[in-house]
Amino acid sequence: QPAPGWVAVENFLADVVVRPDSALQRAVTSALEAGMPPIEVAPNAGKLLKLLVQLSGARRVLEIGTLAGFSTIWMAQGLPADGRLVTCEYLPKHARIARANIDNAGLGHKVDIRIGAALDTLHALESEAGPPFDFVFIDADKENNPHYLDWAIRLGRPGTTIVMDNVVWEGAVLDASMDTVNAPGIISALQMLGDDARLDGTVMQTVGSKGWDGFALAIVR
């Protein structure tokens, strides 16, 4: 069965426009070799993250969900020389592979990988009382999306950019019974995005190698 046209188009766009470098390609192949799930963002989405980091002028980025570091590398590539990125990953194996990929990309000095449940790491970051994060990318366990959105506001500042991935989830956003584990958190976070006076945002639907999905883009008021 031939791949859907949108996958062929995504590959074309990756080859012609996005052009992930060898370190980014290695991040994807290393994950496959290690038996990790192929759930990193698509190359065109990774490039968008890099551009959004640059457009927002971010110096401090927070990522929730590292996997093998593909999106981490894209965002770190968008940071200035003195920029820093903290990324939260639950599984030590994922963190180890991500560390190697990020170092291989020459970005090791910019990236701090925190191993453990992200909610614990977020509490720890609050205790550390560092400067606010300018940009937050949420891409981990979807049940906690509303909490992650709240933490993004608490650890951010007015003007902080938030990107939250996988918010359409093959349409499960309209029918939580399609995925009772993930859909409720996705739906609650979207309701929060619409209702919470601290946030202003929108959602773009996407289609490609990762199926039918979408991402939320928001700003902290």
Residues that bind ligand SAM (CB under 6 A): 39-41, 65-67, 70-71, 88-91, 94, 117-118, 139-141
Q: Select 117 or 219, whichever has its Cβ closest to ligand SAM.
A: 117
The contacts of residue 170 (CB under 8 Å, 6+ apart) are: 178, 211, 212, 213
The single residue listed with the structure tokens 């939250």 is 164
Shortest Å distance, C-beta 10 to ligand SAM: 15
Shortest Å distance, C-beta 205 to ligand SAM: 18
Distance set, CA 34 to CA 61, 74, 93, 101, 158 (Å): 27, 21, 9, 13, 40
Q: Select 84 or 142, whichever has its Cβ closest to ligand SAM.
A: 142
Shortest Å distance, C-beta 98 to ligand SAM: 8
Distance CA 189, CA 2 (A): 35
Q: Select 63 or 134, whichever has its Cβ closest to ligand SAM.
A: 63
Helix (H, G, I), strand (E, B) or coil at 27: helix
Query: Any bridge partners for residue 105, and if so which?
Result: none
Shortest Å distance, C-beta 165 to ligand SAM: 7
Q: Select 88 or 162, whichever has its Cβ closest to ligand SAM.
A: 88
